């Protein structure tokens, strides 16, 4: 079982409009609702790849109930969310069908009480022994300590479970110092962490700060990985146009599934980039176009060298 932690779960709502114009009314051509938050998206993709995934974090209010009802219909995903008094947030993606661009609106999430956070820590430690890997994903809801991910990383390492961190800002900085097995920032998050806008230099700095492996998302330029075994750059054949929501989460699912399967790094990166690109082609957040994914697997270019990083 792969455990994904989404402390700030969401109900992802995607609207499609003919053309998005400021200060104008719009007719929505299609609406989709999915259980969301980064770790939930990761779990859904893992399940589609044939891995059993367990989702934990918080869910509350009417939105939280909707998230759990939708999760119940997702084969291969086990709901281990904890109830809280506050209401789970919503995220709104508005897709402009004319340009393919997406505008994203994200609510902050519920206020988590100290007792609710303490209950989660106990719950998390109970889940760890059954996990083959852990993904810690996304933002922290109000009330959760800024060093929360660092503590969760240390608990996973004590249990002998490899852990991936995908977050930003101060939670990323503190989390990296706790020595996760893998971090997956995008270029902006990596620059904020290290102060460098050169991805090659920034990945080296992130490793020096504690991460065993750094996989940086370069957007249309694919993924750059700095590992103990070497450095690789994986790129898709073309720039994808569509809804990018969840593309990074699909990359995380690709990396985690390949880690559990003990695949070599070039194969891990090929899977992650293909999944990410196929997610941009999908109509709603947290899904990927399987036909496109299988085609893209043979079109990803991986360059690099096998040297000690």
Could you give the residue numbers annotated as active site? 249
And the tokens for 71? Answer: 């999760």
H or E element: which one contains 93? strand 89-96
DSSP H stretches of helix in the chain = 38-48, 61-72, 114-127, 148-158, 169-177, 187-194, 199-208, 247-260, 265-280, 290-296
Q: Exposed e or buried b for every residue in 238-275, given b needs 16+ CB within 10 A? A: eebebbbbbbbbbbbbbbbbbbbeebebbbbbbbbbbb
Sheet holding 2-6, edge to edge: 77-83, 53-59, 2-6, 133-137, 163-166, 182-183, 213-217, 223-227, 230-235, 301-305
Question: 127 near 53, Cβ under 8 Å?
Answer: no
Question: What is the Cα–Cα distance from 170 to 193, expressed in whole angstroms?
Answer: 8
DSSP for 259-272, please give it: HHTT--HHHHHHHH
């Amino acid at each position: 079982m792969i455990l994904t932690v989404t402390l700030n779960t969401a109900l992802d709502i995607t609207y499609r409009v003919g053309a998005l114009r400021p200060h104008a009314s719009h007719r929505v051509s299609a609406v989709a609702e999915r259980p969301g938050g980064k770790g939930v998206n990761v779990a859904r993709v893992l399940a589609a790849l044939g891995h059993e995934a367990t989702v934990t974090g918080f869910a509350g209010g009417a939105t939280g109930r909707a998230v759990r009802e939708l999760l119940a219909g997702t084969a291969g995903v086990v709901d281990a969310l904890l109830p809280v008094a506050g209401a789970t947030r919503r995220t709104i993606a508005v897709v402009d069908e004319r340009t393919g661009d997406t505008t994203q609106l994200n609510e902050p999430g519920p206020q988590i009480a100290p007792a609710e956070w303490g209950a989660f820590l106990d719950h998390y430690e109970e889940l760890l022994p059954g996990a083959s890997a852990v993904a810690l994903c996304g933002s922290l809801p109000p009330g959760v300590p800024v060093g929360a991910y660092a503590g969760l990383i240390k608990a996973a390492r004590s249990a002998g479970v490899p852990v991936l961190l995908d977050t930003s800002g101060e939670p990323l900085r503190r989390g990296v110092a706790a020595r996760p097995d893998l971090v997956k920032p995008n270029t902006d998050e990596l620059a904020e962490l290290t102060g460098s806008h050169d991805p090659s230099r920034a990945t080296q700095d992130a490793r020096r700060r504690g991460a065993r492996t750094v996989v940086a998302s370069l957007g249309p330029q694919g993924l750059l990985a700095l590992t103990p075994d070497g450095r690789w750059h994986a790129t898709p054949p073309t720039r994808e146009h569509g809804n990018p929501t969840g593309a990074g989460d699909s990359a995380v699912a690709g990396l985690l599934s390949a880690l559990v399967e003990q695949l070599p790094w070039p194969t891990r990166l090929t899977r992650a980039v293909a999944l990410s690109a196929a997610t941009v082609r999908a109509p709603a957040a947290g899904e990927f176009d399987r036909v496109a994914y299988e085609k893209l697997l043979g079109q990803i270019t991986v360059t690099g060298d096998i040297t000690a990083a």
